[in-house]
Chains A and B, each alone.
Chain A
Amino acid sequence: MPEQTLTPATETATSGRERPRVRLARLRDFALIPAIIAIAVVGQIVNPIFLQGDNLINILQTMSEISLLVLAQTIVLVAGKMDLSLESTFGLAPGVAAWLTVAAGSGAGLGLLPGAWSIPITLAVGVLIGAINALLIVRFGLNGFIVTLGMLIVLRGLLTGISGGQTFFNLPASMLYLGSALWLGVPASIWLCLLLFAGGVVLLGFTKYGRALYAIGGNVDAAKAAGIRTDRVLWTALVGAGVLAALGGLMMSGHLASVAAAQGDGAIFTVFAAAVIGGVGLNGGKGTVFGAFTGILLLYMIQNVLTLAGVPAQWIQALNGTIIIVALVLSRLTGGKVQD
């Protein structure tokens, strides 16, 4: 009842000039939906296979692993930081697990631990990398871009080092599970991806912790003044991002039944593109998890359409780059604000 008595008051307090802006701000989240629908229509025209269940599952499966990096990056970006090293964590975390559990003799495996240890090891490596990032960025106040750029190179080098540049095969069964199992007829990695994104929407949109991330990214002094323990929030954000990247890497290894020394190499560009197209600001405090999801979904749908249209694989990368730039131009034209 108070709701009803209050509504008219709100109406009068709002001047007519401000109303459309409120609406627009809300719609920003759904800005990519028309584009996604348009691509679906185009895809269907190009090739009737596009909207069939198998193909849709295929799209989601392909994007599920990298989408966890998008989720991780979104959390970090909203808090006003950046984590470039995610793509290397994506390779190194399952790489270390494979190195320790794959039986000696086959490739670079040491076979020191039983296969059941592989998942805990993967996640622990994610935690450790996140903690190192946080230590350098939060505790020592170093520039996040440069720190994680350094980490990206170091971690990639570590993976190349332990694997001798080779690919790990004969992974333990527990490592294969998440990338290969079907739950209710749909790959487990799709379920995980959707669940984690749903969790991300709730975390960032509806919890005190999530709102603290926005506050820190928007104005760190104001966040401190409001009683937010900004350092602690940033620590957990960076560690959480590391864990998500490790999990994504694990799903990828299970899917491919191997860990290549180059796993995740170059993925960070797609990750940033998806986040930015999805409306996540590079300067913090702006964007939503849902928006980021639509960003990565759009990129993978376009890629799928191009493949179905018979565009040679060699050209897809150039088209991808073009799409990213066109998407940014469009969002500048429609959003009106200068992106920085």
Chain B
Amino acid sequence: MADDQAATPLVEAVGVTKRYGETVALDRAGIRVMPGQTHALVGRNGAGKSTLVSILTGLQAPDEGEVRFGGEPAPRLADRDAWRQRVACVYQKSTIIPELTVAENLYLHRHDLNRLGLVRWGALRRKATELLAGWSVDVDVRLPAGELDVEQRQFVEITRALSFGARFIILDEPTAQLDAAAIARLFTRIRALQEQGVTFLFISHHLQEIYEICDTVTVFRDARHILTTTVADLPHAELVAAMAGEAAGLAEGPSRTAVTRGPGVVLDVRGLSYGDAYREIGFRIQTGEIVGLAGAAGSGRTELAETVAGLRAADSGTVEVAGRVPRPGSVPDALAAGVGFVPRDRHHQGFVPMMSIADNATMTVPDRLGEAGLISGRRRDRLARALIDNLAIKTPGPGLPVMGLSGGNQQKVVMARALASDPRLLVLITPTAGVDVKSKEFLLGKVEETAAGGTGVLIASDELDDLRLCDRLLVMFQGRVVAELAAGWHDHDVVAAMEGVRLDA
């Protein structure tokens, strides 16, 4: 990478400052992306990544500083076509139109027209098919785009960006909603495109991915540029230190030593089966025990955890929570039995975005907020304030809509909701998805703290960091528990079991 210094950077932002009223979102920050690189941009929530992305994609103008593409100054903001030819961003939130076909999404507002000004659908579909085939994306262009899964949708969006002529693509947390196999396919694709001359700016909270796929990494912290270096030269701990501003690592060794495990059983699952998702599952969780349910997406771990939480009713078998069998498929009954639940997708099942933190956090415990079905605002806010303090949610007060919080703080609200009922059993599904390093550490610490208080915990995830604090790990593969590992397991054993590979064979 040393000779890169001589070349012209493909994209360069120099001394960029952006203020929103009082807050400084970017403070004389910059980035240089060399052609053909896969460049990682990391930083905790609020570090200024999103602001930089919106400036690099021409959605906002910087207050100071400038953006250059291949040495040339950036086009005017109004010249959308010029921007589209230079840069594209694939956001976490989809920018496709679900009701329209893949073909039309690819060529939206630049349809092929015939002499009468009418759309030539046949030609459009052919062009779209060729385009996708050209970048070897295997998707039927006639499908409504809403039927694509996240992975296909990303490929379609990347291809659309390439079709405008852009050879610089920003991927904003592309792996957040993908399982391990899909991430592997995405990376294969990124490498292939890199060889074809496409440059990527890769934004991710998963540091391991950056080591896997990126050449160069830029770290932002508190609106400033901290460092840019080749990934190979930067040890894990130093990267975390650069992001956190202190030498605090998450990954280094399990901190959990003393297991305060009591004699009682908080969860007893016997002979549980549910359609094709999982079969004949049985296990127990004792008071104060943390049990991990590892497995890739599609392994049945999510469905199993949702069954325990009462979202699904199993076809056969029983779930017993603290000596009581809640009615299968009834969330209120599971709640009453003492189950606290952090669902899989916080945007979907975790909170109501327009409602306040107080309303969201206390949603599971209306009975404690007042008599005879009435809710006392004062009592609710008192409880909410306690939860906000307990989970260190960054907010001016309990009345703020959850919508306005960062991802990490939103997930803390979901956790607060699960903890509000003082559960005997806490069920968590991918509890740290799309959350920054610091919040992740905090949330997992809170899980340990809860377990220390005698609550049994079940964590369903494929994220090794989530599972590290478990006393015991059940690994699921294709609907069955294929391995049970005690604390102190090696990463490769777990990954191998989740992928259905036997290392000892």
Tell me, yes or no, whether A215 is within 8 Å of chain B by CB.
yes
Tell me, yes or no, whether B126 is within 8 Å of chain A by CB.
yes
With A13-B138, A202-B118 known to touch, is A25 a contact of B144 (CB < 8 Å)?
Answer: yes
Contact A219 B126 (CB under 8 A): no
Chain B, residue nearest A221 (CB): B95
Q: Give chain B interface residues in 119-167, CB to chain A under 8 Å.
A: 119, 121-122, 126, 129-130, 132-133, 138-140, 142-144, 147
Tell me, yes or no, whether B108 is within 8 Å of chain A by CB.
yes
In the bound complex, what is the Cα–Cα distance between A226 and B109 (angstroms)?
Answer: 6
In the bound complex, what is the Cα–Cα distance between A225 and B90 (angstroms)?
Answer: 12
Q: Give chain A interface residues in 223-245, CB to chain B under 8 Å.
A: 223, 225-228
Shortest CB distance B339–A (Å): 27
Tell me, yes or no, whether A206 is within 8 Å of chain B by CB.
yes
In the bound complex, what is the Cα–Cα distance between A6 and B122 (angstroms)?
Answer: 12
**How does the 8 Å CB contact mask read for A78-111 relative to B, with 1 for contact and 0 for none?**
0000000000000000000000000000000000
Chain A, residue nearest B96 (CB): A222
Q: Give chain A interface residues in 248-298, CB to chain B under 8 Å.
A: 281, 285-286
In the bound complex, what is the Cα–Cα distance between A200 and B111 (angstroms)?
Answer: 18
Contact B109 A6 (CB under 8 A): no
In the bound complex, what is the Cα–Cα distance between A86 and B270 (angstroms)?
Answer: 61
**How does the 8 Å CB contact mask read for B85-110 relative to A, with 1 for contact and 0 for none?**
00000000011111110001000111
Contact A208 B100 (CB under 8 A): no
Shortest CB distance A26–B (Å): 8
Tell me, yes or no, whether B237 is within 8 Å of chain A by CB.
no
In the bound complex, what is the Cα–Cα distance between A6 and B130 (angstroms)?
Answer: 8
Query: Which stretch in A14-22, A62-70, A180-188, A325-333 binds the other chain?
Result: A14-22
CB contacts (< 8 Å) of A10 on chain B: these are: 129, 140
**How does the 8 Å CB contact mask read for B360-392 relative to A, with 1 for contact and 0 for none?**
000000000000000000000000000000000
Contact B97 A215 (CB under 8 A): yes
In the bound complex, what is the Cα–Cα distance between A214 and B108 (angstroms)?
Answer: 10
In the bound complex, what is the Cα–Cα distance between A10 and B132 (angstroms)?
Answer: 11
| A222 in complex: contacting residue of B108, B117, B142, CB < 8 Å | B108
| A285 in complex: contacting residue of B94, B99, B130, CB < 8 Å | B99
CB contacts (< 8 Å) of B110 on chain A: these are: 226
CB contacts (< 8 Å) of B81 on chain A: these are: 227
Chain A, residue nearest B59 (CB): A225
In the bound complex, what is the Cα–Cα distance between A219 and B113 (angstroms)?
Answer: 23
Tell me, yes or no, whether B80 is within 8 Å of chain A by CB.
yes
Q: Give chain A interface residues in 193-219, CB to chain B under 8 Å.
A: 202, 205-208, 211-212, 214-215, 217-219
CB contacts (< 8 Å) of A310 on chain B: these are: none
Shortest CB distance B170–A (Å): 14
Chain A, residue nearest B125 (CB): A10
Contact B109 A228 (CB under 8 A): yes
Contact B97 A6 (CB under 8 A): no
With A208-B113, A215-B109 known to touch, is A222 a contact of B118 (CB < 8 Å)?
Answer: no
Chain A, residue nearest B105 (CB): A222
Where chain B touches its partner, the secondary structure class is loop
Where chain A touches its partner, the secondary structure class is helix
Contact A214 B100 (CB under 8 A): yes
CB contacts (< 8 Å) of A313 on chain B: these are: none
In the bound complex, what is the Cα–Cα distance between A217 and B100 (angstroms)?
Answer: 10
Tell me, yes or no, whether A318 is within 8 Å of chain B by CB.
no
Count, A-B residue pairs, CB within 8 A: 89
Contact A219 B143 (CB under 8 A): no
CB contacts (< 8 Å) of B99 on chain A: these are: 214, 217-218, 281, 285-286
In the bound complex, what is the Cα–Cα distance between A227 and B100 (angstroms)?
Answer: 17
Shortest CB distance A207–B (Å): 6
Chain B, residue nearest A222 (CB): B95
Tell me, yes or no, whether A3 is within 8 Å of chain B by CB.
yes
In this complex, the member of B104, B118, B130 whose beta carbon has the largest number of chain A beta carbons within 10 angstroms is B118
In the bound complex, what is the Cα–Cα distance between A215 and B99 (angstroms)?
Answer: 8
In the bound complex, what is the Cα–Cα distance between A228 and B126 (angstroms)?
Answer: 23
CB contacts (< 8 Å) of B129 on chain A: these are: 6, 9-10, 13
Contact B117 A219 (CB under 8 A): no
Contact B97 A223 (CB under 8 A): yes
Contact B133 A218 (CB under 8 A): no
Contact B143 A18 (CB under 8 A): yes
Chain B, residue nearest A26 (CB): B142
Contact A227 B80 (CB under 8 A): yes
In the bound complex, what is the Cα–Cα distance between A228 and B111 (angstroms)?
Answer: 12
CB contacts (< 8 Å) of A221 on chain B: these are: 95
| A208 in complex: contacting residue of B119, B121, B130, B138, CB < 8 Å | B119
CB contacts (< 8 Å) of B97 on chain A: these are: 214-215, 218-219, 222-223, 285
In the bound complex, what is the Cα–Cα distance between A221 and B144 (angstroms)?
Answer: 18
Shortest CB distance B429–A (Å): 23
Contact B109 A13 (CB under 8 A): no
Chain A, residue nearest B95 (CB): A222
Chain B, residue nearest A202 (CB): B118
Tell me, yes or no, whether A120 is within 8 Å of chain B by CB.
no
| B100 in complex: contacting residue of A18, A202, A215, A281, CB < 8 Å | A215
CB contacts (< 8 Å) of B94 on chain A: these are: 219, 222
Contact B98 A13 (CB under 8 A): no
Contact A218 B138 (CB under 8 A): no
**How does the 8 Å CB contact mask read for A4-44 relative to B, with 1 for contact and 0 for none?**
00100110011100100110010000000000000000000
| B143 in complex: contacting residue of A21, A212, A218, CB < 8 Å | A21
Chain A, residue nearest B129 (CB): A10
**How does the 8 Å CB contact mask read for A51-82 relative to B, with 1 for contact and 0 for none?**
00000000000000000000000000000000
Tell me, yes or no, whether A2 is within 8 Å of chain B by CB.
yes
Shortest CB distance B296–A (Å): 20
Shortest CB distance B138–A (Å): 6
Contact B147 A21 (CB under 8 A): yes
CB contacts (< 8 Å) of A9 on chain B: these are: 129, 133
Shortest CB distance A226–B (Å): 4
In the bound complex, what is the Cα–Cα distance between A21 and B148 (angstroms)?
Answer: 12
Shortest CB distance B472–A (Å): 38
CB contacts (< 8 Å) of B113 on chain A: these are: 208
Shortest CB distance A102–B (Å): 42
Chain A, residue nearest B147 (CB): A21
Contact B140 A211 (CB under 8 A): no
Shortest CB distance B89–A (Å): 10
With A22-B143, A222-B96 known to touch, is A207 a contact of B119 (CB < 8 Å)?
Answer: yes
With A3-B126, A14-B140, A21-B143 known to touch, is A211 a contact of B111 (CB < 8 Å)?
Answer: yes
In the bound complex, what is the Cα–Cα distance between A206 and B113 (angstroms)?
Answer: 9
Contact A219 B109 (CB under 8 A): no
**How does the 8 Å CB contact mask read for A122-143 relative to B, with 1 for contact and 0 for none?**
0000000000000000000000
Q: What are 22 residue pairs bridging A and B, where the CB atoms are less than 8 Å apart in the complex?
A: A6-B126, A13-B129, A13-B132, A13-B133, A13-B138, A13-B140, A15-B140, A21-B147, A25-B143, A206-B118, A207-B117, A208-B113, A211-B111, A214-B100, A215-B109, A222-B94, A222-B95, A222-B97, A222-B108, A228-B109, A281-B99, A285-B99
The 6 closest A-B pairs by CB, nearest first: A218-B97, A285-B99, A206-B118, A226-B108, A226-B109, A218-B99
Given contacts A222-B94, A226-B109, 10 further A-B contacts (CB under 8 A): A13-B132, A25-B143, A205-B119, A208-B119, A211-B108, A218-B100, A219-B98, A222-B95, A223-B108, A285-B97
